[in-house]
Structure 1
Amino acid sequence: MKDGRKAEMLLRTTPVKDARERIIYVLETAVDVTESGKLLKELSQLTGNLEQVISERLNRLRQSEEKYRTIFERSGDAIMLTDPKGAVLEVNQAGVDILGFKKREQVLKINSVTEFFKDEDDLYRFQKRLFRDGFLTGYEAPLLRKDGSIFYGLLTANVTLDVVGQITGYVFIVRDVTKRKKAQEQIEWRNQWLATLNSTSVAIGSSLDLDEIVNNTIEKIMGILESVSVRIYRLDKKSQTLTLLASRGLSTRFVENGRIKTREMGEGFLGNTLITSETSVVTDPANLEAANADLFLEEGIKSAIYVPLVSKGKPVGAMVISSRSTSDFPDDNLEFLSAIGNQIGVAIEKAALYENLKNAYQELKEAQEQVIAQEKLASLGKLSATIAHEINNPLAAVLTYNRLLIKQNRNGRLTPEREDDIARYLTIMESETARCGEIVKNLLAFSRQSRISIENKNIEEIVDRTLALLSHDLEMKGVKVVKHIESDLPEIQCDFRQIQQALLNVVGNASEAMDGGGILTVAARRSVKRPNMEIRISDTGCGVPKEHLKSIFEPFFTTKEEGKGVGLGLSVVYGIVTRHHGTIEVESEPGEGTAFTICLPLAAVTGTKASV
């Protein structure tokens, strides 16, 4: 080139001819194609690269398609592609198998995947969430197979759109979770079973009300085993007869029938259950008890389980679970009912023991009341001599002054001048007569029979009345009485006469222990440990040997000489105190004396009253 550059030229030679076709000259043209050549080279390179890119992408696309096709075909989950109306366009082999079809073409003929939903409510909720969010994951619902059988599917779905946002179809993935669902239901059932067993066990341990335990257990059984009825029978060991204890899910006419209410041991499936101690299952209506076939037919019972109720290896009753269907009972149900049967058996046995204990307690209570009454009579006998002396002295004084007045009247000595002497005589007579009246009043109050009446009472009044009854006996034996009653003491909850009798027995024992004289101390104070009243009665008598202290409250235990006591006094005291929800303790040292401490509950602030 003129500027010294090298250039690539495109030369063209064109001959020019005349009319005779003779070349008259040659036309040559030269075009600089340096830049266009470069452009062609660059374009050639770009084209080569583009073809390579397209080739590589097409290759990757084929690989991806093969990959996803492999996943599509080998997936264990059903995968379906549908059009906007839900008609199946494509389905993998897992989908064919899960949905119960034999060929893929059969699935492709389905008008809409909505046909697989069992419940319309599930379909409505599924569609609502899918249309709202455009996708859906983890939606569990019962679905239908081709033959109408039910399986549980875990659904994942999403909407497919074109470039302008229009729906072109749907992708559905269905995982069969029936086994997991059944396993989960089995676990939940087992948990319910264990919870029922646990609650029954707790009820048996915390309650003695057999009716309450049985009825609660029946409710739980019916909550676990649907569409069943329950009957529970209790065995009367003496008559060897089963008696209906409770029932649920049956008509009144059925359970009130005599053939259902009672059953002899060994009679029918129910009676034989006690003999074999084995659970019996009857699922064929024809095999139910012939003697009661009419009753079962009328009630609609077609199958039943007969479960023995056992405690300590011995039958105590039976339970019948009946159904209005002929389906077999699963082994798990039998295991559960057997376990429940053992629990109810324990409850029945425990209730029987409680009834026996309650009867024994009632007999013991009646015997104790008889002992208390006899001890009261014995105490009255002991008091008779003391009371005779106590009354005799004031009566003698009254009689003496009365005779003196009669004598003076006869002799004409009742003159106005002697008015002061006469008044003195009458005052003494009045005082002694009142004294006799008070003694008789205390004696009558002590001896009067009545039911125990718990009231708020003043302890000092009870102590004073008790000491008044024994004052003469204590004085004759040279016993000095010291009384320490804490001021402003609250009242106690007690039966006045019962506590008076208890104090009378303790003070009487103390008096006998100080036959040669001594000091009797009666003290009352508020307890420092509990909200109780402490009454302490101590003497300076002979004391009790330590080896006898543990038996001192036992009936008929005594250390007195023969003929001076039968050993019921302190036993009666113990019974009275415990019936008042109190305690009694004894301390003693031989040769130094004995002290009894009685603790009784304080009265409520507002006061209470009750009869026992």
Structure 2
Amino acid sequence: MIDKETKRLASIFDAMGRGVYVIGDDYVIKFMNKASINAFGEGVGKKCYQVIANCDNVCSWCRAKEVFKGETLRWENYFPHINKTFEIFELPLQTDEGTISHFCIYQDITEIKEREKMLRASIEDYKKLFEHVRVGVHMSSKEGKFIDANQALMEMLGYTSKEEFFKVDITRDLYLEPEDRRKYMDLIERDGHVIDYEVDLKRKDGKVISVLRTAHARYDQEGNVIGFEGICVDQTQRKEMERKLKKAHDFQTNLIQTSIDAIIANDRKGNIIIFNQSAENIFGYTQEEISKVHVTQFYKDGEAKKIKQMIYGPDHGGPGRLVNFKVEIVDKDGQIVPILLSATLLYEEDQEVATVGYFKDMREVKRLKQEIHTLFEFEHNLIQSSIDAIIASDRDGCIIVFNQQAEKLLGYSAYEMIMKMSFNELFPPAMLEELRNELASDEYGGENRLLLFETYMINKTGDKIPVQLSATVMFDQGEEIGMVGFFRDLREIRRMEQQFTNQARLLHEHKMISLGRLSASIVHELNNPLSGILNYIRLMLKIIKRGDLETKNIEKFQRYLTLVESETSRCSKIVSNLLAFSRKSELELKAMSINELLEKCILLAQHKLMLQNIQIKTDLDPGIPKVLGDFNQTQQCVINLIFNAIDAMPDGGTLTLAGSFDPETQMVEIKIEDTGCGIADQDLHQIFDPFYSTKTEGKGLGLGLSMVYGIIDRHNGSVTVDSELDKGTVFTIRLPSLKR
């Protein structure tokens, strides 16, 4: 039983808000005051561990045995099932019957513990803040010594040891200007604090840093300033950040201003807030003018509303975006400008604040597209209008280009060939193998190239076509992608070669005819000096036989031999010129003298001219430059024209040979002029045609002037004729000089 004294004490503890319960040595609760009942519920007669700890066995932390042995205990315990902490005072209690009970007094200290925990956390947080904040935190005395400082301040000022740092004289060792320390102290003592006081300090290594100081004064009980507490912010970091921010801002501004595309931003009301240099160039407005322009003025009627709907919609880049939309804008002068527009909405704190647009001027792109289209058309027309067949194939040999000339050459249409037939099908097997070998070698222009390679192709009807092929293998980034070939039809060239061979034969035959005509006169020309030589030799032999070799006879012999030498030399020249004229030779272009050519022609023809009673005159300019030509063929032309002149003067006349140089045209001129019968006007335009002749039958084949025209033309020269009936004819040959 619980005596009255115990109950009275329990009532007192009730009033104090303390809980009281009494248990016996069998752990059964004998008494609980109201505070205990309110905390744990009615538990008298129940085991204490069931009521107090809500468990089925004796609590692991139970100290009842110690109390029953007479000890008094005071301790704290946390009860998780009710989430509370109690301060417990336990002592033995002797009842009136003389038995010992366990008297327990407890107080709920949960809130106290929470406050202690928070206080410890605050202290720990303050310590962490003090040590880890990236600004300098300090406490200093009025006399200028540090009492405490965090690591950031020490690092800021270049110190590693607090022991060393606390010995620093603030005025002398830290302040660049000691006067700044005095001003700082005056301000803080007057106002009790300073905020963002900027001052220059010296680091331990002597480097000067600019800091912002914010601090307040510390007072004693009498209100006297005893020191200062505050923070130092390194201005170097801030200024560096400001510099970086400015650099970033300048970079962003430069990026916007130097963009090749116009960048325009407008607020939600349509007012322009960004308008870069490219925008000025495209739209024509200046920065001063654009402030009065609404964004809708850039578009045709209704276009701005349409674009806004597209930006908000999901179909053109996503909600809030518009990607590569073709639109026409209106510039300041009302001109239409094609634009490729991309735009996006700008947000700030989830609120739409502006729209920015990127305007790509498509005028140049359209121009380039047109140029590319024109170039493509030009290249297509170039391929199609080529005089050579052009055939290209891919890497597998499939034909991909087949121009009109190829159609004419082979008889296939482009429709039949492109992507349907192989390049290999156009050649005989043997030729194809040779073509591949030559293409792989470097003999015809280098590896993977063929220049002017002659071969045969097979046309649609199976005939062999002689062609001259130039081809190259095409590569893209080092990888073979195909081949293109240029095929020149050699059939006409072969026909012309045959014709040229025939003409050369006729030319030589005509030369032989001319040589025959020369021979008769040259025989007489040679006979006269040979007769003289023979007479002088006979005379000398006669004198020798008489044995009379006096001095006067020796002098006669010398005179006779000189004449023999002269006449022999004359004969030699005549024979040499005749041999050179008769020689059959290929066209050989060399620098030649026109005056020398004319003199040799005169030597060959002068006896015939004398026999025909034709007087010869010459007018040769000694300053005539040389020309590039074939001496033998050019000589044949002049001889032919001299013979024509002789034929035109059967009763004699005058033949004039002239050589001159026209510095204005850089042409050398040869004129062969006669005083013969002339040529009728109706014949003049035909005289250079092959087999056309104005002479009587049997006097010529009509090939002479045609030959002359062909030879001079091959020398890049010209031959013209002026004639008047019964007065004479002038043939003029013009050849380019080497000065040209």
Q: TM-score, normalised by structure 2?
A: 0.43
User: Within 5 A, what are the aligned runs for 1:60-209?
Assistant: 76-77=306-307, 95-96=313-314, 154-160=342-348, 167-170=349-352, 192-202=372-382, 208-209=387-388
The RMSD of aligned alpha carbons is 4.6
Structure with greater proportional strand content: 2
Paired amino acid for 1:232: V
Match of 2:424 among 242, 252, 261: 261
Separation (CA, whole Å) in 2 of partners of 1:77 and 1:542: 93
- Give the CA deviation at 1:445: 1.8
Separation (CA, whole Å) in 2 of partners of 1:601 and 1:191: 42
Assess if the C-alpha contact under 8 Å between 2:672 and 2:731 holds in 1.
Answer: yes
Distance 1:240 1:461, change over 3 A: closer
Distance 1:593 1:239, change over 3 A: closer
Separation (CA, whole Å) in 2 of partners of 1:356 and 1:450: 26
Match of 1:232 among 365, 379, 401: 401
Match of 1:449 among 584, 589, 599: 584
Separation (CA, whole Å) in 1 of partners of 2:519 and 2:416: 57
Assess if the C-alpha contact under 8 Å between 1:139 and 1:154 holds in 2.
Answer: no
User: Within 5 A, what are the aligned runs for 1:325-364?
Assistant: 355-364=490-499
> Structure 2 stretches of 5 or more lacking a match?
1-303, 325-337, 428-483
- Give the CA deviation at 1:387: 1.5
| Residue aligned with 2:677, SS | coil
Paired amino acid for 1:488: G
Separation (CA, whole Å) in 2 of partners of 1:598 and 1:139: 66
Separation (CA, whole Å) in 1 of partners of 2:647 and 2:423: 68
| Residue aligned with 1:483, SS | strand
Distance 1:204 1:523, change over 3 A: farther
Q: Deviations over 1:22-60 (max 9, x none)?
A: xxxxxxxxxxxxxxxxxxxxxxxxxxxxxxxxxxxxxxx
Paired amino acid for 1:535: I
User: Within 5 A, what are the aligned runs for 1:490-505?
Assistant: 490-505=625-640
Separation (CA, whole Å) in 2 of partners of 1:426 and 1:187: 91
Distance 1:396 1:420, change over 3 A: same
| Residue aligned with 2:313, SS | helix
Distance 1:195 1:402, change over 3 A: same
Assess if the C-alpha contact under 8 Å between 1:232 and 1:245 holds in 2.
Answer: no
- Give the CA deviation at 1:411: 3.5
Q: Deviations over 1:275-316 (max 9, x none)?
A: xxxxxxxxxxxxxxxxxxxxxxxxxxxxxxxxxxxxxxxxxx
Paired amino acid for 2:697: E
Q: 2:519 maps to what in 1?
A: 384
Distance 1:542 1:229, change over 3 A: closer
Distance 1:531 1:407, change over 3 A: same
- Give the CA deviation at 1:79: 6.3
- Give the CA deviation at 1:435: 0.9
Q: Deviations over 1:190-235 (max 9, x none)?
A: 8644431223324655x54544xx56xx89xx9xxxxx98633586
Separation (CA, whole Å) in 2 of partners of 1:390 and 1:188: 79
Separation (CA, whole Å) in 2 of partners of 1:370 and 1:185: 63
Match of 1:507 among 642, 656, 667: 642
Distance 1:157 1:466, change over 3 A: same
Distance 1:515 1:77, change over 3 A: closer
Paired amino acid for 1:198: F
Separation (CA, whole Å) in 2 of partners of 1:556 and 1:450: 24
> Structure 1 stretches of 5 or more lacking a match?
1-73, 81-91, 101-106, 108-112, 119-137, 141-152, 161-166, 223-227, 265-343, 606-612
- Give the CA deviation at 1:469: 0.2
Separation (CA, whole Å) in 2 of partners of 1:246 and 1:239: 11
Q: Which has the larger radius of gyration?
A: 2
Assess if the C-alpha contact under 8 Å between 2:675 and 2:728 holds in 1.
Answer: yes
Q: 1:425 maps to what in 2?
A: 560
Separation (CA, whole Å) in 2 of partners of 1:463 and 1:528: 21
Distance 1:170 1:495, change over 3 A: same
- Give the CA deviation at 1:468: 0.3
Question: Taking CA–CA contacts closer than 8 Å with sequence separation of 6 or more, which of the two structures ends up with the larger relative contact order?
Answer: 1
| Residue aligned with 2:343, SS | strand
**1:488 equivalent in alignment to 2:633:** no
Q: 1:581 maps to what in 2?
A: 716
Paired amino acid for 2:729: T
Separation (CA, whole Å) in 2 of partners of 1:433 and 1:233: 71
Distance 1:202 1:559, change over 3 A: same
Paired amino acid for 1:196: F
Assess if the C-alpha contact under 8 Å between 1:490 and 1:602 holds in 2.
Answer: yes
Q: Deviations over 1:546-603 (max 9, x none)?
A: 1111111111111222222111111111111111111111111111111111111011
Assess if the C-alpha contact under 8 Å between 1:523 and 1:536 holds in 2.
Answer: yes
Paired amino acid for 2:400: R
